[in-house]
Amino acid sequence: QYEHKRVSSLTCPDPDEVMGINSRDQMAEAEAILRKRINLRHMRDGVTLIDPSRTYIGMDVTIGRDTTLYPDCYLEGKTCIGSGCVIGPNTRIVNCEIGNEVEIRGFCFFTGSSVRDLAVLGPFSHLRPGTEIHEAAHIGNFVEVKKSIIGAGSKVNHLSYIGDTEMGEGVNIG
């Protein structure tokens, strides 16, 4: 029952493309290769990564030119970062829209939120799903915001929880 078909070989110029993944250490090696490729693509598109080996960017993340990422940033899901932003160290952003020229001062965790242009957040800020931070608003250190709208130019400077709130423009919570 032989079909007498011809067998040939194929040469792959990049052995990383055909590497096997049969263990956790091989999985980690493959992930590092993919992370390096993603980071290189963003750097070539004008994004500054202070330490690319300690920056984690998901496949579906978009980042604008002249944005700077400090070490230990984790950008995941459908996150979109504008141009001219600075994202401080030890920050995790999941499924968020971040406007242009936004400053995130580090040690922050944002998920399912939107931040508009010129906002300043952190350090140690937590944005939970459904949060909208409008233009030039400031969310300070140790502030948690859940399912709220923070109006343009408003400030929640420190040690506060804002939940299920619609805050107008120019409000100062202290």
CA distance 135 to 163: 19
CA atoms within 13 A on the CB side of 28: 3
Whether 132 and 113 have beta carbons less than 8 Å apart is answered as: yes
**Which run of H or of E encompasses 35?**
helix 24-44
Residue 4 is a catalytic residue: no
Active-site pick, 4, 42, 134, 158:
158
Which residues are catalytically annotated? 158
